[in-house]
Amino acid sequence: MRKNKQNVGIVGASVGGLVSAAALADRQMDVTIFERGRSVTGLYNKIDTPFGRQELGMHVIYVNHDQYLYLCQIFGAEVFEVLEGVRVDLGASNICGTNNFDSVYPDLRNHPDLETILVEMRAGGGSEDRASNSREEAIRRFGRTAALQVTIPAIEKLWHSKAESLTKEALHCFYDLRRMVVCDKPQADRLKKDAWLDQVVANPVQTEPSGKIFGDRLGLVFKAAYTDLNERVIAWAKKNNIKIEFEKQIGIEDGQLLSDGSPLSETCDACIVAAPIHTLAQQLNADLDQIELSIAYFQVDRRIGADFPAYYLLCHDPSLKSSRIVNYGAYNSDKRDEERSVLAVEFLHPIGKPPETAEIGNEICRIFPDFSVVASYRLEKTMKLCRPTITNRKILEKLEHEVSVAFGGKPLYFSGMRTDTGQFFSHHTIGAAYEAALDCHQRFR
């Protein structure tokens, strides 16, 4: 089929970039993907450990139906396990040393001040007051008692920062702290009838979709058995005349998007930056306030399977160094029947100052006295994330503005992860990349 002459450049061959490329190619646009790695290296890839292949960053990917169909074109439907809605999002919290299961978010059902919390939440509901930082936003959303006692300490523990210095959207990212469990199911069902509360109150037993966050999305897991994802992407790209240039790192200098020193605007009529913008602007490294994320895997002495929630959110307990425990067996059938389950622990820490793996292992034993850790594996590679601070936001916004101006008014989109704007989860980034592709196509029609 004849292609339009417009060539759209896409930075990053992870799910967001690939889905947007598929949507553009489907609309007969020319597409070139620039990927700095030697292969598709997004966070959806798995890694080999002494106890088998384990997940990296992206655990469950939430997509709408159209995006799912594109992912099937790219990778093949067989590589995905499809989970239904938020059922997969089961988690638990640990508040002041007490384990609370069946909730993804801070669980306040047993909070001594629950009545006050509910009154405050109802009173604050729908308030249009503008919050200028995470502290104010937490109080606006959840009322003073819950915010001061639970949400603010949680976010401060997670980012190792004062809530006043964080953007209000910081509440949305990483562990999506915007929702809380405050009640039993009948209470939740009543509160969910209120549109505003529906967004902040999770259904405690997770039997129904809660809020509008996941909507009618599907949850996808890449099955561990498929180790040929790179070959699949390459074959799909070839079939669809999509160029993928591997080992091509796009940089930003003086506001210009550059490929091998040449402005991308000379060769591309539009561009979707489907990678975190700060990874393009190396020179900003010194200015940005960043934090390091490490991951360690722990094999335990028995099968856990689905008995235990998928995401166990320790970030709510300020006394623990672990940020989140992920139990693959809860949602991934590849892992459910393993004799000895593997838990992944993610922990955010100041750069260069990680806790010892043994310290994290001890936390696991403390939290789950029924398991013992038989082996551990610390991922050597760590990841730097921008803290979602107001100062970082100013720097990144200025950068986006400069790059857009230098791109000369041609369509330019940024769909990569931004902790400061709350664009963090895969459904945010894939959604943003997909919308960018549709908008781009419209503008060239």
Ligand X SMILES: Cc1cc2nc3c(=O)[nH]c(=O)nc-3n(C[C@H](O)[C@H](O)[C@H](O)COP(=O)(O)OP(=O)(O)OC[C@H]3O[C@@H](n4cnc5c(N)ncnc54)[C@H](O)[C@@H]3O)c2cc1C
Q: How many residues bind ligand X (CB under 6 A)?
A: 37
Is 322 a binding residue for ligand X by CB under 6 A? The answer is no
CB of 6 to ligand X, least distance (A): 21
Query: What residues from 257 to 316 belong to the interface with ligand X (CB under 6 A)?
Result: 274-276, 279-280, 293
Sign of the C-alpha dihedral, residues 422, 423, 426, 432?
A: positive
CB of 4 to ligand X, least distance (A): 24
Q: Which CB sits closer to ligand X, 197 or 310?
A: 310
CA-to-CA dists, residue 263 to 50, 255, 444, angstroms: 44, 10, 21
Query: What residues from 106 to 165 belong to the interface with ligand X (CB under 6 A)?
Result: none
Alpha-carbon gap, residue 199 to 210, rounded angstroms: 8
CB of 211 to ligand X, least distance (A): 15
Sign of the C-alpha dihedral, residues 23, 25, 27, 30?
A: positive
Is 22 a binding residue for ligand X by CB under 6 A? The answer is no
Alpha-carbon gap, residue 307 to 371, rounded angstroms: 13
Binder to ligand X among 6, 14, 100, 419 (CB under 6 A)? Answer: 14
Q: Which CB sits closer to ligand X, 161 or 426?
A: 426
Contact 117, 108 (CB under 8 A): yes
Taking CB under 6 A as the binding criterion, the range among 34-42, 73-81, 113-121, 192-200 that sits at the site for ligand X is: 34-42
Give the number of other CB atoms < 10 A from CB of residue 22. 25
- What DSSP character marks residue 278? G
Q: Which CB sits closer to ligand X, 145 or 161?
A: 161
Taking CB under 6 A as the binding criterion, the range among 8-16, 23-31, 66-74, 80-88 that sits at the site for ligand X is: 8-16
Chain CA centroid to CA 277, Å: 15
Query: What residues from 407 to 426 belong to the interface with ligand X (CB under 6 A)?
Result: 416-417, 424-426
Binder to ligand X among 4, 43, 187, 226 (CB under 6 A)? Answer: 43
CB of 146 to ligand X, least distance (A): 24
Closest listed residue to residue 43, CA positions, set 434, 429, 334? 429
CA-to-CA dists, residue 406 to 4, 10, 20, 366, 402, angstroms: 24, 17, 23, 54, 6
Closest listed residue to residue 155, CA positions, set 422, 334, 418, 372? 422
Task: Write each residue from 325 to 364 as x if it is in contact with ligand X (CB under 6 A), else as -, in one continuous string.
Answer: ---------------------x------------------
Kindly list the residues in this chain that would bind ligand X in the complex (CB under 6 A). 11-17, 34-37, 41-43, 57-62, 249-250, 274-276, 279-280, 293, 346, 383, 416-417, 424-427, 429
